[in-house]
Amino acid sequence: MKVRYYHTMEEKRMLILASGDNVGVLLEDALAGNIAVCGDTRVSCLNDIKFCHKVALFDLPKHTYFVKYGEIIGYALRDIKKGEWVHTHNLDDVRGREGML
């Protein structure tokens, strides 16, 4: 993977919707190496993460529930690293699954 050093440490605004959330929401497009910042919380992004997509705030083992708005939005399909982009590739939800309810 090509490493883009010049983006390292650049800060990007992040929103944590409720205390107890283990994912934050990027309020700007972020590139790998950028720091997502919300108050005192600083997370180094491991992937490029687009506007309004989610970033893991902690290392989370496989099957951990993802919490946003203080509520469960799905669970981890595999071990998740702090700073990782959280989306359909590593998050699943038992509700409303087509063909697999």
Residues found near other proteins in the complex (CB under 8 A): 13, 15, 17, 25, 27, 50-54, 66, 68-69, 71-74, 86-88, 91-93, 95-101
* Closest distance to other proteins from the beta carbon of 5 (Å): 27
Q: What is the DSSP letter of 56?
A: E
- Give 8 or 15: the residue with its C-beta nearer to other proteins: 15
* Closest distance to other proteins from the beta carbon of 57 (Å): 15
Residues with Cβ < 8 Å from 73, sequence gap 6 or more?
Answer: 23, 66, 67, 91, 93
- Give 8 or 18: the residue with its C-beta nearer to other proteins: 18
- Give 9 or 52: the residue with its C-beta nearer to other proteins: 52
Is residue 76 within 8 Å of 91, Cβ to Cβ?
yes
What pairs with residue 25 in β-bridges? Answer: 15, 54
How many other CB atoms are found less than 10 A from the CB of residue 49?
27
